[in-house]
Structure 1
């Protein structure tokens, strides 16, 4: 009985399927977007090619190595970490400490006497000396050349001259023993500055007849001190001018005249200022007590052509 019922059910099913018809056009599957990527299962890691490249941690970044003077990377010392302390940025200790304009000659300790300094006479160029002598002659300077002076301890002049007249008709009293370059500077200062200024300030006194000098060559330290630097007078580089004599009237003495409102005061201040055009050092009565009675004029050569005028 059960078997007959099952056969009848199967026959009915076959009959129903044989009478059914399929649709002519089936469903068309939609194409996936090209940019769409399949979602990865939660338990599966994303593809390796799309994973971001890991970046080094900030604390793991190495400091930049210092570069050498030629711009190349300097290798670190083997077995030691690179030195990045501020000490590597310090200036070279061998660099000269003095960057200011100072004397071209080595510094002399102030505690030394003249005998302890072991100085020597500076040699002079034959060609430069010959050119200087020709220039003095062309200016009409009266002088004579004398043998080399060597008084020891660095005092002396390699090629000295004795100056009698700074310019024609202008005597130097007493005669001054100097280097030629000192006499040349004096001649130009007188011709181009002192004489024109005197023609305005002291025109009633006539022409200048004499330069009265207080010191030329002498073996001593500066300001006649017992210790310190050697004086430029001891090298023939300096002359001290105490006063000017004229054809008539009184001498014009060099003395403190900062507050002197007369033409004489103006004359002294003018020639003191102009002296720095010819001499590398000019000390007048306003500079200190040691120079209250004269001009100190010298031709010391300093670094960079530096001049000291006070």
Structure 2
């Protein structure tokens, strides 16, 4: 008790410490990372278009062609149908040894009748008269040196691209001509010289487009630098490609 007998209040202690805040709730368990999606498989390459079918000869037109070719004096043999796959082939191939009487094809050429007939007409009406006029010292023209007739390949022998007319028997490559006087064939070459041999070379290049729908003169491009290419590809409105030497 304090003085005067009054009771002394009991000393109060410090206030209790505030309660600790509850711990934050635990985060939800992490979802497993999604597996990386697989790359979609590439779409399959489209199938290449089927090769064109071998052209079937019209019987009436073919028989007329044979009649005309025989009348021209060509020497040839009819051969069995050629089908080398991939669209290559000739329905009614001819193996031609003479394109006109006394004018050989060296070596013999395998062609469609239509191609052989156009070659025969061009030689008869233009090439031989031009040779007689421009090259009288060489004597009679006796042979056509051909570099390629029927062969199953694409244009310019590429691994892709369009099929060559050679693969249809519609084309012939000519490297030169042989004459009765002289042991060396006359090569077909670009010739712009103001001479009779030059005039002959230019005449055969330009005149061929009267009979063939494609004429690539020697030197027209790298793949035709040493021969003349002739073919009978069909284009709209009878359009023709007549390419002179570069």
Give the TM-score of the pair, scaled to structure 2: 0.77
Match of 1:206 in 2: 139
- Judged with a 3 Å threshold, the aligned counterparts in structure 2 of structure 1 residues 239 and 275 are, in CA distance, closer, same or farther, namely same
Deviation at 1:176, TM superposition (A): 0.2
Match of 1:255 in 2: 189
Match of 1:146 in 2: 79
1:161 paired residue among 83, 94, 100 = 94
Deviation at 1:178, TM superposition (A): 0.3
Contact 1:201 1:263 survives alignment (8 Å): yes
- Aligned pair 1:173/2:112, yes or no? no
Match of 2:167 in 1: 234
Higher strand share: 2
Using the alignment, how far apart are the partners of 1:263 and 1:292 within structure 2?
A: 22
Deviation at 1:117, TM superposition (A): 4.6
CA deviations over 1:33-91 (Å, ceiling 9, x no partner): xxxxxxxxxxxxxxxxxxxxxxxxxxxxxxxxxxxxxxxxxxxxxxxxxxxxxxxxxxx
Using the alignment, how far apart are the partners of 2:207 and 2:73 within structure 1?
A: 22
CA deviations over 1:141-197 (Å, ceiling 9, x no partner): 100101100000000001110000010000001000000000000000000000000
Deviation at 1:116, TM superposition (A): 6.3
Equivalent position SS for 1:301: coil
Contact 2:88 2:152 survives alignment (8 Å): yes
Contact 1:145 1:162 survives alignment (8 Å): yes
Q: Over aligned residue pairs, what C-alpha RMSD do you find?
A: 1.6
1:243 paired residue among 166, 176, 185 = 176
Match of 1:266 in 2: 199
Deviation at 1:200, TM superposition (A): 1.3
Contact 2:105 2:143 survives alignment (8 Å): yes
Deviation at 1:252, TM superposition (A): 1.5
Deviation at 1:245, TM superposition (A): 0.3
Match of 1:128 in 2: 61
Using the alignment, how far apart are the partners of 2:98 and 2:152 within structure 1?
A: 23
Q: Higher Cα Rg: structure 1 or 2?
A: 1
2:51 paired residue among 115, 118, 142 = 118
Match of 1:194 in 2: 127
Using the alignment, how far apart are the partners of 1:190 and 1:237 within structure 2?
A: 17
Deviation at 1:266, TM superposition (A): 1.0
Give the TM-score of the pair, scaled to structure 1: 0.61
Deviation at 1:119, TM superposition (A): 2.7
- 1:1-310 alignment, distance < 5 Å: 117-249=50-182, 250-257=184-191, 259-310=192-243
Contact 1:281 1:299 survives alignment (8 Å): yes
Deviation at 1:261, TM superposition (A): 2.7
Any runs of at least 4 consecutive aligned residues in structure 1 with deviations exceeding 3 A, and if so which? Answer: none
Contact 1:252 1:264 survives alignment (8 Å): no
Contact 1:157 1:179 survives alignment (8 Å): yes
Contact 1:213 1:242 survives alignment (8 Å): yes
Deviation at 1:286, TM superposition (A): 3.6
